[in-house]
Every structure is written in structure tokens, then in C-alpha cells.
Amino acid sequence: MIISKHLLGLEGVRREEISLILKTAQSFKEVLSRPIPKVPTLRGKTIVNLFFEASTRTRISFELAEKRLSADSINFASSGSSVAKGETLKDTVRNIEAMKIDMVVIRHQASGAAHFLTQCLEAGVINAGDGQHEHPTQGLLDMMTLQEKFGRLQGLKVAIVGDITHSRVARSNIHGLMTMGVEVAVCGPATLLPRDIAAAFGQDLLVFKKVDEAIQWADAVNVLRLQLERQKNGLLPSLREYALHFGVTRRRLEDAKREVVIMHPGPINRGVELESDLADSEFSVILDQVTNGVAVRMAVLYLKSGGEQEVMNGNGA
């Protein structure tokens, strides 16, 4: 299988590649449980983490993945757009590349920023979240978590609840899950559902107007973080109303009389999109998602740096 050295999104990524990443991630997860959770796989490789937007868990997760693979990793953090800093994004990254690096992990507030980097750089580019576009490693770790929980992906029903318009997590999940044969639904206030959703993602994508209907239907519910500024921007009447009508609560799960797995990409606004108690309940796999995040990112970094052949030969970890 020929795979790109970049991971820009899950749109268009083939089923075989996703399966390979998830399988590789499983073997790296085993590494993480060893007394010395480290392999020499990427020794001598240099990876730069470029974070133009505040992030705690994704940055730490990538850093840990790099360290577990014995790569040399460097962090660059800058908030605000590159224009505001007076240096263009292109200049910033070309300067960094001139220091001889192998791979770039980028988080940026602008959709398409990772694509843009591929036009400026020779190095491989891993998208750690670009604006409202995609967050492919989040999509992969969500799939890994689902696969662990249910033993399969094919035929599962997953509902994504919340602010779909502004969510890169939603887009990566929709593309990845649909490729893997999962039935996908979205549910959220009309003001937070993007335009022409069926044309964009396919007629198979279901839309629920009521969260109760989504819970009734789903095997797993992926609850998105609600950005607090949506109220200020006039997209929501109030957080209170959101919590009342779209918040995922234990009561709603009990009413559905179904065992539904709860996922959340974090950080959680407890009591807004997700009831606090539910986040820590037996339904929740939120901390498994975090653990799997490191394994998935190890798999991505490894495969994208040219390790595919070894995986095929069973020497992956």
C-alpha cells in the first residue's frame, strides 16, 4: 500500500490505511504497558511540534508519542496568527525546516494551514487540528476506542452531538467512521449545523433534531465541547438552554433504556454539554480515548516516517 507521508485529514484516506494505523496503534499500546515504555523506532528522527493555538492534551500526547518512539522533538508554541507576529507562516516554517527536520506536527487556528505547509516544506506534515477543518488523530483515536469497546467498527451506530459547524473533531470522525462502515448521525442546534451537510458528507449521514432520538439510536455518543463564545456570537440563546435541550445526561440515558458509550474529545465543560457525573460513569470511555491517543499518534508518526514495510513484516514494535 502506498501511503502519503502527510496526514492532513481523514477525508479520502482509504479503509486499508486506517485499518493499518489502528492495528499498528494496538501494538504500540502494548509497548506503553511495558516497564520501560519506549522503543528505538524513530531514533535520529527530528520532529517539530508547531502549536499556533493553545492546546494541552494534544500537544502532550504528541510529545509523549514522540518520546516513546525515541525521536528528538522540539516544541514551538505561538498564539495569534503569524501575520500578527509580523512573520509569515511560510517564513516561520521554512526557517525551522532549514534546521534539518524530518516531520512537522501542526496545530493552527486556520482551516487548511496543514495543507499550506505541505506546499512550503519537504518534511512530512501531521495535522494536529486545523481551524474548523480536521483533527485526524482525534478521529483515529476515537475509532480505536470504539473498536476496543465493541470489538468491531463495521455496522456500529455513532452519534456526534453538539457544535458540528465549528468542529474539526466532527469532520474527522464523520469521514473516518463512514469509511470504516460505521453509521453516523449528527445532532445539534440548527445554528450549529453547517450548510448542505448531506452534499458535503453523503446522503447516509443522519441528522437528529433531538438529542433523545440520537441517544435512542446510537451505540455510542461522541459529545463535542461547546465553545463558550458561541453564545456571545449570537448562535445560542444561552448555555443554560443548550444544557437543557442538548446536554447529555444520565436521565436521558436512563430514559433511553440503553447502554450507550459516552465519548468526549475534551476538555469537558461539565454541566453544559455533558453532565458531570456521567463523564466519570461506567458509560464513559473518555480516559481510554486519552490513553489511546498516545498509541495512535505513535502509529501515525511511525508509519508516516516510512515504517510501513516493517509493520507489514511484523516488526512494528
What's at 187, amino acid-wise?
Answer: C
Shortest Å distance, C-beta 285 to other proteins: 26
The C-alpha cell 443548550 sits at 242
Of 106-125, which residues contact other proteins (CB under 8 A)?
108-113, 115-116, 119
- 199 makes contact with other proteins (CB under 8 A): yes
Shortest Å distance, C-beta 109 to other proteins: 8
Shortest Å distance, C-beta 108 to other proteins: 7
- 225 makes contact with other proteins (CB under 8 A): no
- 171 makes contact with other proteins (CB under 8 A): yes
- 59 makes contact with other proteins (CB under 8 A): no
**Among positions 13, 71, 89, 286, the unique one binding other proteins when judged by CB under 8 A:** 89
80 vs 181, beta carbon nearer other proteins: 80
267 upstream amide cis, omega within 30 of 0: yes
* CA 3-6-10 angle, 5° bins: 80
- 53 makes contact with other proteins (CB under 8 A): no
Shortest Å distance, C-beta 185 to other proteins: 16
CA 274/CA 224 separation, integer angstroms:
9
CA 123/CA 16 separation, integer angstroms:
24
Which residues in the chain belong to E strands, given as ranges? 46-51, 72-77, 103-108, 124-130, 157-161, 183-187, 206-208, 220-223, 261-263
* CA 204-210-212 angle, 5° bins: 100
**Among positions 88, 95, 154, 191, the unique one binding other proteins when judged by CB under 8 A:** 88
State the cell numbers at 34: 511495558
Question: How many residues of this chain interact with other proteins, rule: CB under 8 A?
Answer: 30
Contact footprint for other proteins (CB under 8 A): 11, 81-83, 88-90, 108-113, 115-116, 119, 130-134, 168, 171, 194-197, 199-201
